[in-house]
Amino acid sequence: MTAVTPELLTRFDVPGPRYTSYPTADRFVEAFGQEDYALALAQRHLGTGSKAMPLSLYVHIPFCESLCYYCACNKIITKHHDRADVYLRYLSREIDLHTAQCGVGQVVSQLHLGGGTPTFLSDDGLRELMSMLKRSFTLAPGGEYSIEVDPRTVNAERLALLAELGFNRLSFGVQDFDSEVQKAVHRVQPAEQVFALVESARTIGFDSINVDLIYGLPRQTPESFDRTLSQIAQLRPDRIALYAYAHLPERFKPQRRIISAELPTAGAKVAMLSRSLDAFIDAGYVYVGMDHFALPTDALAIAKRQGRLHRNFQGYSTQPDCDLIGLGVSAIGRIGATYSQNAKTLDEYYDFLDQGRLPVVRGLALNRDDLVRRAAIMALMCQGELLIEPMEQAWLIDFKKYFAAELDRLKDMETQGLVELGSEGVRVTPMGWFFVRGIAMVFDRYLQADRTRARFSRII
């Protein structure tokens, strides 16, 4: 990090996408609706057969018992658990509408329950949800079946139930172990509680345990975060997701409760990122990329070594670049060369399903340029390199002509030591990984044409 100058920090202290998709979700349009989505599902069914190509499933559970001030997720704060019972009935209707289009029994190789708080569901609710999914889809042996867990909502018995239901990967939301930071973001959970749950999860035999951390929260300092990093190294989860806090109070109302003066500076955030990289690598973790670390024996690290890493709406993944069905309010899916998103409010989501319609309210049909640029951006984000020959063979383009403007813009980044430009293509340098979102942004045609970036989190 000694080579990172104040000028470089200032230059990259700008908003930018995380590129869990390209084009990014802010480019979705309302002209793409449920009829377009139904057609994409039908084409998938006709083109591959009902059981030929594996699927990923994402199920959004929006409910939380308490509000975390930093959260930008689509969530509903309530202590009335009967609301989840109603929600599950509507999820069942949505699943039935999908199977009406693409058939029963399609093979699923990846399932992720996110939120909100998926463990807001009762034990019976979790059983009901998994029963619905297993009736309609075929969960492939050896697939990745994960669930996000708020440590405050589970105990050892509940973790055992999750394993019984087929989940083999857990993601614990930790964010920070510092008590002052926890108070500032309204999420108090003792470190001892997390340590006990991780120990129970290991005893039960989950394949992989992930811990989410956030740097850039109020009252954090590089020194205080060092203490959390030390505790995480002792905890030794299989994977670590380290996210930069995106302070967008104009978009996310709960963040208005955060005192802006208590937020760390851009320089302090970069110091936390730098020290995190050092701490986790010293502890034996592989830096998978951008915001993910994994132990060398974990499937994510193995995929990185073997060049099989992918990126989707849940972040880095070992799963092939396959279709994704998003279920639940606000869920995003990808079928073929289309993206789609469900209604963002419960009332609208329920209204669509009451009418017997898929609850898609916006999306996008990708054109050829979108597909070419998606391949380029994902190559940089996942492999740290964009090679000319594979791109030319896959897309029948003259790489240097097609990306002439982009290669010209990258020359300045090469001077800054962020990329290497050679006869084989573009490579991200070790220092460039700190700014890989900024490198990828060069290839984003929409972003280059529209400089309004306030909708995104800041890169640093």
Chain-centroid distance of CA 124 in Å reads: 27
Question: Looking at residue 50, what is its pLDDT?
Answer: 41
Tens digit of each residue's pLDDT (9 = 90 or more) over 92-102:
999 999 999 98
Long-range CB pairs of 403-409, under 8 A, 24+ apart, other chains included = 403/376, 403/443, 406/442, 406/443, 409/442
Q: How far apart are CA 377 and CA 213, in angstroms?
A: 25
Q: What is the tens place of the pLDDT at every residue in 201-236?
A: 999 999 999 999 999 999 999 999 999 999 999 999
Residue 174 CA to residue 182 CA, distance in Å, equals 10
| pLDDT, position 316 | 83
What whole-number distance in Å separates Cα of residue 385 and Cα of residue 281?
A: 21
Q: Between 449 and 411, whose confidence is greater?
A: 411
Under the banding of pLDDT at 50, 70 and 90, the label for residue 1 is very low
pLDDT at residue 431, rounded to an integer = 82
Say if residue 46 is exposed, middle or buried (CB neighbours under 10 Å; 0-12, 13-18, 19+). exposed
395 has a pLDDT exceeding 50: yes
The pLDDT-based confidence of 460 (bands split at 50, 70, 90) is low
Tokens for 415, please give them. 């001077």
Distance CA 175, CA 97 (A): 37
Provide, rounded to the nearest whole percent, the portion of the chain with pLDDT above 70: 94
**More confidently predicted of 66 and 317:** 66
* Lowest-confidence region among 53-57, 150-154, 338-342: 53-57
- Cα distance between residue 225 and residue 150, in whole Å: 20
Which amino acids are annotated as binding site, given as ranges? 58, 64, 68, 70-72, 115-117, 148, 175, 187, 212, 246, 332
Residues comprising the binding site for S-adenosyl-L-methionine?
Answer: 58, 70-72, 115-117, 148, 175, 187, 212, 246, 332
DSSP code per residue over 9-24 = HHHH-SB----SSSS-
Strand partners, 242: 213
pLDDT (tens digit per residue) in 6-26: 667 667 767 788 888 999 999
pLDDT of residue 433: 79
pLDDT for 459 equals 64
**pLDDT over 90 at 457, yes or no:** no
The top-scoring range by mean pLDDT among 177-186, 237-246, 320-329 is 177-186
Six-digit token pair at 143? 């697939």
Do β-strands 310-312 and 315-317 pair in parallel, antiparallel, or remain unpaired? antiparallel
Which residues on neighbouring strands pair with residue 241, listed in sequence order? 212, 292
What pLDDT, on the 0 to 100 scale, is given for residue 53? 65
Burial class (CB in 10 A: 0-12, 13-18, 19+), 368: exposed
What pLDDT, on a 0 to 100 scale, did the predictor assign at position 311?
A: 84
Block residue for tokens 């399609």: 106
* Res. 332: pLDDT tops 50: yes
pLDDT tens column, 262-287:
999 888 887 888 788 889 989 999 88
Cα(145)–Cα(168) distance, rounded to whole angstroms? 6
β-bridge mates for residue 108, sequence order: 55, 139
- Rg of the chain (C-alpha set): 22
Q: Which domains does the chain have, with CATH numbers?
A: 1-23+367-460 (1.10.10.920), 27-327 (3.80.30.20)
Q: How confident is the model at residue 49 (pLDDT cuts 50, 70, 90)?
A: very low
| Binding site per annotation, positions for [4Fe-4S] cluster | 64, 68, 71
For 290, phi then psi, to 5°, come to: 50, -75
Comparing CA positions, the residue from 43, 41, 103, 37 lying closest to residue 339 is 37
Angle of helix 82-102 versus helix 346-354 axis, rounded to 10: 50
Q: How far apart, in whole angstroms, are the C-alpha atoms of residue 320 and residue 340?
A: 19
Residue 105, pLDDT > 60, answer: yes
Token readout for 214 is 């956030």
Mean pLDDT of the chain: 91
